[in-house]
Amino acid sequence: MSAHDGRISPLPPHSSEESSERSFNAVTNVSDAKVASSAPTANSNDGTATPKAEESTHLAHGSWWHTHYIFPHIISKPLFVLYIVTGLIIAIYALCYLHATWDPMSHLPNVPVAICNDDVGYQALGDYDPPSQAVAKALTNGGTPVGQSITSGLLNTPALRNRLAWNDLSGQKLTHEDIISLVDHGDYWGVVYIPANFSDNFLTNLRLNVSGTGAPRAAVPLSAEYIFDQGRSLTVSNYVSGVVTASMSALSQQFGMKLLNATESNPNIVKPVFYMSPFSLASGKRHAVLTFGANLVTYIVLLLMWLGAMLSVTGERQGLFPYRNGKETHP
């Protein structure tokens, strides 16, 4: 029926079927759109799927996570490169610095040191009366210089020689200044120098009568000198000096025991204190380190300042500090 006469006209053929099909297609399109929106999109470059940017809202500027935590700021490729480079620098520095102090005693047998014996023997023996000369020869194995006995004891005793790489400079006619020059130029870490009057000084420590006076001479301390360069390396020089001092002390005690046995029948010829420590080792320190503590502290402070400045600049450039002057900033 028509609208004009009040009658209802019948529907066109298949109109209900077309309406149902249109409704089904609309629902299908909506479902496909939801699936497509939830599925990852393909990357046109490498074909890999990447999540939609709308889902990463917790790292967005102004979010609570972005405002209150620094971790999202430090997780970036430039910072990872910085971390790796900084770690390598620290590792190389630690390796170079710690290697010098790692088990130093095992490397001491490779450290070159030397002994130079300039002792010319008993030049003043003729100044004593004949009985005193006979006693001196008996105590010195027929006139063997004391410097020669010390040098032989050091180089021919494996327990002492193998602790360092000892070299014998005796007989090369080196002066005291030549020894200092060898140490300053780094040829040796240290040199034990026995002076030319070493044996004559030994005679003054015996109660021997001088011809014409009938009285002994004034005792002169029997001393060798250890010349070393402390400024070359404080750590190495301390270790080497300790070994040299201990070796010379052992030789001194050994010499005192031999002297005690040789004078058993006439102990008054030697002062008792001389038996305990016949000779000593004087320190010939070169380029002394006087302000090691202050220099070390200054170096550490400057290193920490450099690290702090580097981290501060990096943090500012990469946005590690989200607030500046009370206002939030973004990288």
Helices 146-155 and 234-262 meet at what angle, rounded to 10? 120
Q: What CATH class is the domain 110-288?
A: alpha beta
Q: Give whole-number Cα distances, 73 to 70, 166, 184, 197, 222, in Å.
A: 5, 60, 54, 76, 72
Tokens at 314, concatenated: 């990096």
Domain ranges of the chain: 110-288
CA distance 185 to 25: 96
According to DSSP H, which parts of the chain are helical?
Answer: 15-38, 64-68, 71-74, 77-99, 130-139, 146-155, 158-161, 176-184, 198-204, 234-262, 272-276, 292-318
CA distance 121 to 203: 11
DSSP state of 267: G
Q: Indicate yes or no: pTM above 0.85.
A: no
Phi/psi for 63 (5° steps) reads -75, 165
What is the full per-residue pLDDT of the chain (331 aa) written as tens digits? 444 444 444 444 444 444 444 544 444 444 444 444 444 444 444 444 444 444 444 455 556 655 555 555 556 666 677 778 888 888 887 787 777 667 778 889 999 999 999 999 999 999 998 988 888 888 888 889 999 999 999 999 999 999 999 999 998 999 999 999 999 999 999 999 999 999 999 999 998 888 888 888 899 999 999 999 998 988 889 999 999 999 999 999 999 998 988 888 888 888 888 998 899 999 999 998 887 777 778 778 888 888 788 777 766 665 555 545 545 555 4
CA distance 331 to 322: 8
